[in-house]
Amino acid sequence: MSRKHPAGAIVLVCLFGALQTSAIAEEAKSKGAELYVTKACAGCHGMDGRSPILPVYPKVAGQPKAYLLNQMRDIKDGSRNNGQSIAMAGVMAGVSDEEIGILADWLSRQ
């Protein structure tokens, strides 16, 4: 005996999954934006991540996520300590690995 699911039930399941995914994406987006401000990123890189206060500071918005992750991790652990990264070492000391991931994801989507 075969059991058939009404098409409406399948549509509802798909819609629920899409809404759940959208809600998770929105939460990550707002968390990334919040961290960008509270961790003082905007103070040097600009509110949009594209308007640094000094020309020597990089534009971080829109960079590839893997690149951003590597740069933040390397600055935090001291692997990268040249140029302007020295100024960021103190900031990165207060950013957890989880927060680095959230920031990198958010910035890469800007």
- Is 2 part of any domain? no
- Is 104 part of any domain? yes
- Is 15 part of any domain? yes
Among candidate residues 83, 85, 110, the one with its CA nearest the CA of residue 35: 110
When comparing pLDDT for 41 and 22, which is higher? 41
Task: For the full predicted model, state whether its pTM sits above 0.75.
Answer: no
- Report whether pLDDT(5) > 70: no
- Is 73 part of any domain? yes
Reading phi first (left if > 0) and then psi (alpha if -120 to 50, else beta), residue 10 is in: alpha
- Is 18 part of any domain? yes
- Is 97 part of any domain? yes
The pLDDT tens digits for 42-82 are 999 999 999 999 999 999 999 999 999 999 999 999 999 88
Helix (H) / strand (E) element for 21: namely helix 7-38
- Report whether pLDDT(18) > 70: no
The pLDDT tens digits for 91-105 are 999 999 999 999 999
CATH number at residue 38: 1.10.760.10
Domain that holds residue 15: 7-108
Number of domains making up the chain: 1
Instruction: Find the mean pLDDT for residues 20-24.
Output: 49
- Is 66 part of any domain? yes
- Is 39 part of any domain? yes
Which pLDDT does position 25 carry in this prediction?
52
